[in-house]
Amino acid sequence: MRLPRRRFLRLAAAAAALPAVSRVAMAQTYPNRTIKIIVPFPPGGPSDFIARLFADKLSGALGQTVIVENRAGGAGGSIGVKAVATADPDGYTLLLCPVSVLTQSPLVYRSADYDPIRSFAPIALLLTSPLVIVVNPTVPAKTLAELAAYAKANPGKISFASPGFGTTPHLMGELFRLLAGAEMTHVPYRGSAPAVNDLLAAQVQMYIDAALTLLPQIEAGKLRPLGVAGETRSVHLPGVPTTAEGGFPRLQGSFPAGLFAPPGTPASIIDRLNAAANNALKSADVAASLNKLGAEAKGGSTRDFAAFIAADAKMAADLVAAAGIKPE
């Protein structure tokens, strides 16, 4: 039976409106089941620690269980990231990772076919942590200049670790190699934890990563810090010069980590998650935990975070170009 044109148009319009209606209803009852935070790296690294720290706080604020799922799979963390970019935009699958995984990985991995701006809904910038250049104590260098001279005089004797090809530690290591004019070997790992383990065992000699990751080993005397890759010295490492003070002003970077949702997630859900994240950052125990590890709590609006991501994308392009990395 053929429907009259007017009735057909009414039914078509009603059908088209169904997704919007369902999104509104979903937002009104959110959350009513377990929320999952995907970390695109193995357990034991800084992203994993941050996710577990915030999962407990978000659970209390939202009244639902929040679990952490480590979905490591190489490609600079982009495999776990893509799982969130393509997840249902219902607020039950979130992403916690360094901002660089969104802004850098698409520049160095052809398989990371996502856009840092359009493929994610920013929730909140959680923290930043300065990057620190460290060596195993068996390396005789006490400064960046001495490390550069030693590496240049001993071709191939210095290996530098990273948590994966295309990550910030990798790009910073490559940039140092180029600036030093030395022959050094890059050794990629599947996360920060295994990289640090081999650094402690002197299987690799140098590493650049967040103070969040390295501070406990530095304070224990197991790693020697040579420089802080920021504009100012770290309050946790006041005796360690900045990279600019050490003669390498182009060696600049940080570790910003944030919380993201799939694109199209209702604004009311994003706003609720943003409020919960900001409240967590204000709690005394979270602030103390982050401060102890040399990280600075951030927070702010989703608009603030979106602007931060856009600025970081520009810096990522500059860093990739400076490090001479070609996409693979």
Assigned token pair, 123? 């929730």
Q: What's the rounded mean pLDDT across residues 163-187?
A: 93
Q: Which residue type, as a one-letter code, is found at position 40?
A: P
Assigned token pair, 1? 């039976």
pLDDT of residue 220: 96
pLDDT of residue 89: 97
pLDDT of residue 51: 95
Domains 33-129+254-323 and 130-228 share a fold: yes
What are the sequence ranges of the domains in the chain?
33-129+254-323, 130-228
Q: What share of the chain is helix, strand, coil (3-state, %, to 5)?
A: 45, 20, 35
C-alpha 199/C-alpha 160 separation (Å) is: 9
Helix axes 211-219, 46-62, angle to 10 degrees: 110
How far is C-alpha 149 from the geometric centre of its chain's CA atoms? 31
First to last CA, the chain: 56
* Per-residue model confidence as pLDDT tens digits over 248-292: 999 998 999 999 999 999 999 999 999 999 999 999 999 899 988
**Is pLDDT of 91 > 80?**
yes
pLDDT of residue 304: 96
The CB-side HSE value for 317 (13 A sphere, CA atoms) comes to 6
pLDDT of residue 28: 76
* Per-residue model confidence as pLDDT tens digits over 8-41: 556 556 566 555 545 555 567 899 999 999 998 8
Can you name the residues that pair with 134 across neighbouring β-strands? 207, 225
Q: What's the rounded mean pLDDT across residues 110-129?
A: 91
pLDDT of residue 21: 46
Q: How far is CA 108 from CA 103, 166, 184, in A?
A: 10, 6, 20
At the topology level, CATH places domain 33-129+254-323 in D-Maltodextrin-Binding Protein; domain 2 (3.40.190)
Q: What is the pTM for the complete model shown?
A: 0.84
Q: Which tops the pLDDT comparison, 328 or 63?
A: 63
Q: What percent of the chain has pLDDT over 90?
A: 67
Can you name the residues that pair with 67 across neighbouring β-strands? 36
* Per-residue model confidence as pLDDT tens digits over 193-235: 899 999 999 999 999 999 988 999 999 999 999 999 988 999 9
Q: The domain 130-228: what is its CATH number?
A: 3.40.190.10
